[in-house]
Amino acid sequence: MIRKGGRGLKQEWPYLTGFGLAVAGAFSALGYLLYGGREQVTAIVAGLGLLAIAQLIVVGLNFDIQARQRRRMRMMAAELAQTQEFTAEGFEEIQAQLAAIDAKEVARSGEVMGKLNEIKSTFNAFHEKMNSAVANRPEPAAAAPAEAPVETETVSAEAASAPLQPTAKLVPGLADQIEYALEPVIDIPTQRTAHYRLHASLKIGDEALSNEALLHASAVSGKRPIIDSLAVTEALGLLRRLRQRDPHLCILVPMGSETLQNNAALADVLSSAGASPHANGLIIELAHVVLAGLGEQGLEGLALLARNGVVFALSQASVSGLDLDAMKLLNVKLVGLSAATLAGQAPSETLLGFAQMARLARVNIYVTDVRDAATIPQLSAFSRLACGPCFAPPRRVKRIGEVSASAVSMAA
């Protein structure tokens, strides 16, 4: 405002100077007349002329001020029009961005719906495959192929004397389609494989449901007991081969609450374990949250397995909710912690205290999904066992039938 006012005074200064000089001249002529000057007529004419000049200067100043105001108004109008144009362009850009966001949301919604439909079709395909496999179970009187190995026939004869046939025998079509992999559980001090965790996958069309996805799909479709029974049977067959190298090696097999509440599945598991000389290497891995949701029937199933000598491991556990005395009664020998819950931080005093008490109770802690090698020294402060991509990914293993077929071909 000061700069504008100073600029205005500079523009009006000539008018003000001329007006002041004309008024001063007119007053001088008036004073000359009052003091009795000789040239009174000349003085009167000069005074009137100077007053007329002063009036003309005032009129010119007024016109100049109005001209400047009109020019300023035109400039303000131009600036306002330019601002409105910029504002309109900004609104158009914002509207374009909103339209693009809406288009992305629509496309994303379409992708989500497509994924949901794909998942739904995958579950339906899984359900149909399970039902067809169960419906097409072979007759008990069916004869075994002539090229079947002697070892397989021996196991079948032992299983035939059990109260309940293993599920792998009841659903051979499904059992042949599932692929298994072993994830090594590493002993941190020696960097040697102490145990294995069993992973399963099932190919449906061009996609494969692997491990957690397969277990969730089987739980949703009500086929989890079948999947768990097949996994137990396969783990016992793998132990027969692996324990030739390490007689103390064990395999952790996941099991869901649906299996613990299914009497036929429990009888199947106990039958398979009773027919195997390596059943002491079988460890049933239960998620810690499963225990909280078990009903009376599930607890009875858990106690039944424990009474028959089955060893358990609790995965994804929270040490604050564990009771070592109750774990001892349930024959829990392993407690699994997820590396993600530790967030790369140093172990807490609670965790270190639990680890010390667990060692006294002969309960080992293992850490799953270890991805960063830099966290291994922190893990070794409370755990001796660990697994995850940092050590080795799960590797597919040959099925019992594949090994037997290769042995027959080599013998031939």
Average pLDDT, the chain: 78
The confidence score (pLDDT) of residue 369 equals: 93
Domain identity same for 171 and 57: no
In degrees, rounded to 5, the angle at the alpha carbon of residue 284 between the alpha carbons of residues 278 and 287 is 165
Q: With respect to residue 110, please indicate whether it lies within any of the assigned structural domains.
A: no
Neighbour-count burial of 167, counting CB atoms closer than 10 A to its CB (0-12 exposed, 13-18 middle, 19+ buried): buried
The confidence score (pLDDT) of residue 354 equals: 92
Q: Label residue 7 by pLDDT band (50, 70, 90).
A: low
Higher pLDDT pick, 22 / 230: 230
The confidence score (pLDDT) of residue 150 equals: 31
Q: Which domain holds residue 8?
A: 2-98
Which tokens in the block code for residue 234? 């396969």
Domain identity same for 80 and 153: no
> What does the pLDDT look like over 222-273, one tens digit per residue?
889 999 999 999 999 999 989 998 999 999 999 999 999 999 999 999 999 9
Domain identity same for 55 and 190: no
Q: Label residue 123 by pLDDT band (50, 70, 90).
A: low
The whole-angstrom separation of Cα 354 and Cα 366 is: 13
Domain identity same for 380 and 286: yes
Answer yes or no: are the C-beta atoms of 347 and 376 closer than 8 Å: no
Domain identity same for 357 and 283: yes
Domain identity same for 210 and 341: yes
Residue where a domain terminates, one of 45, 67, 98: 98
Q: With respect to residue 195, please indicate whether it lies within any of the assigned structural domains.
A: yes
Q: Label residue 159 by pLDDT band (50, 70, 90).
A: very low
In degrees, rounded to 5, the angle at the alpha carbon of residue 321 between the alpha carbons of residues 317 and 326 is 95
> What is the rounded radius of gyration, in angstroms, for the C-alpha atoms of the chain?
46
Residue where a domain terminates, one of 98, 125, 157: 98
**CA distances in angstroms from 282 to 35, 116, 233, listed in the order given:** 137, 37, 10
Domain identity same for 85 and 225: no
**Is the confidence at residue 3, as pLDDT, over 60?**
no
Q: Quick one: average pLDDT of 94-99?
A: 84
Residue where a domain terminates, one of 78, 98, 118: 98
Q: Is the pTM of this model over 0.75?
A: no
Q: With respect to residue 314, please indicate whether it lies within any of the assigned structural domains.
A: yes
Q: Quick one: average pLDDT of 401-407?
A: 46
- Considering only 192-196, 212-216, 338-342, 396-400, which range has the smallest mean pLDDT? 396-400
Q: Is the C-alpha dihedral spanning 313, 314, 316, 318 positive or negative? A: negative
> What does the pLDDT look like over 260-309, one tens digit per residue?
999 999 999 999 999 999 999 999 999 988 887 788 899 999 999 999 99
Which among 1-10, 35-44, 240-249, 395-404 has the top mean pLDDT?
240-249
- Considering only 123-127, 144-148, 325-329, which range has the smallest mean pLDDT? 144-148
Higher pLDDT pick, 141 / 297: 297
> With pLDDT > 90 as the criterion, what percentage of the chain qualifies?
33
Fill in the DSSP letter of residue 304. Answer: H
Q: With respect to residue 107, please indicate whether it lies within any of the assigned structural domains.
A: no
Q: Quick one: average pLDDT of 43-71?
A: 80
Domain identity same for 375 and 276: yes
Q: Label residue 131 by pLDDT band (50, 70, 90).
A: low
Domain identity same for 196 and 343: yes
CA-closest candidate to residue 57, choices 12, 94, 97 = 12
**Is the confidence at residue 339, as pLDDT, over 70?**
yes
DSSP secondary structure, 166-206, as one string: -HHHH-HHHHHHEEEEEEEEEETTTTEEEEEEEEEEEEETT
Q: With respect to residue 158, please indicate whether it lies within any of the assigned structural domains.
A: yes
The whole-angstrom separation of Cα 295 and Cα 272 is: 25
Domain identity same for 84 and 221: no
The confidence score (pLDDT) of residue 59 equals: 81
CB atoms within 10 A of CB 404: 19
255: CB partners within 8 A, 6+ apart: 228, 231, 232, 284, 285, 286
Q: With respect to residue 149, please indicate whether it lies within any of the assigned structural domains.
A: yes
| CATH label of the domain that carries residue 267 | 3.20.20.450
**Is the confidence at residue 28, as pLDDT, over 50?**
yes
Q: With respect to residue 127, please indicate whether it lies within any of the assigned structural domains.
A: no
The confidence score (pLDDT) of residue 170 equals: 41
Q: With respect to residue 119, please indicate whether it lies within any of the assigned structural domains.
A: no
Domain identity same for 226 and 362: yes
- Per the structure, how many domains does the chain have? 2
The confidence score (pLDDT) of residue 332 equals: 93
H-assigned helices in 185-316: 212-220, 224-242, 257-260, 263-274, 288-293, 296-307
CB atoms within 10 A of CB 129: 19
**Is the confidence at residue 19, as pLDDT, over 70?**
yes
**Is the confidence at residue 362, as pLDDT, over 60?**
yes
**Is the confidence at residue 140, as pLDDT, over 60?**
no
Domain identity same for 225 and 147: yes
